[in-house]
């Protein structure tokens, strides 16, 4: 039995709702400079969060990377952690299919909305934000 083929590098995996043929893990941004670079790049505001996207240079590492941030404006530690958990889950479910290889994404939580907005609407917001940002060219 032969293993299934992976998506070619640089392709958009949004062709269906089935999971990728191979295990796919979105890497997490950890360094402050990566967050700062994403802040200076393209962004779009949605009702549940703000999405920032930076296309990396061809000589940088491949793959999709994502970061999450919630300031103290979002609420106390419990509210911030809940908002970030929800952002992590929508990214886990959506980015392998709708994200583009070679991009960094940062999801910024919003006060009183990210933690309470219905999950399906939050996920639809991410799909719409990705289509807006991928349609833009700089």
Q: pTM to 2 decimals?
A: 0.80
Residue ranges, the chain, pLDDT below 50: 138
Does some domain include residue 64?
A: yes
Domain range for 109: 27-133
- Reported in sequence order, the residue ranges of the chain that DSSP labels E, i.e. its strands, are 27-28, 42-45, 49-55, 65-69, 103-109
Does some domain include residue 56?
A: yes
Q: What are the Cα distances from residue 42, in Å, to 50, 53, 78, 135?
A: 11, 5, 29, 11
**Count of the separate structural domains present in the chain:** 1
Q: What pLDDT score was predicted for residue 61?
A: 81
Does some domain include residue 5?
A: no
Q: What are the Cα distances from residue 60, in Å, to 23, 24, 52, 56, 126?
A: 22, 19, 18, 6, 25
Q: Cα(87)–Cα(84) distance, rounded to whole angstroms?
A: 5
CATH of the domain at 120: 3.30.230.10
């Amino acid at each position: 039995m032969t293993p299934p083929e992976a998506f070619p590098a640089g392709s958009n995996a949004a062709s269906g709702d089935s999971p990728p043929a191979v295990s796919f893990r979105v890497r997490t941004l950890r360094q402050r400079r990566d967050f700062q670079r994403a802040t200076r790049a393209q962004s779009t505001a949605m009702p549940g969060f703000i999405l920032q996207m930076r296309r990396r240079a061809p000589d940088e590492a491949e793959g999709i990377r994502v970061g999450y941030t919630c300031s103290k404006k979002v609420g106390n530690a419990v509210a911030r952690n809940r908002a970030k958990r929800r952002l992590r889950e929508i990214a886990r479910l959506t980015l392998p299919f709708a994200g583009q290889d070679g991009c960094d994404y940062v999801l910024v939580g919003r006060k009183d909305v990210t933690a309470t907005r219905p999950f399906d609407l939050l996920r639809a917001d991410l799909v719409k934000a990705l289509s807006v940002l991928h349609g833009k060219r700089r």
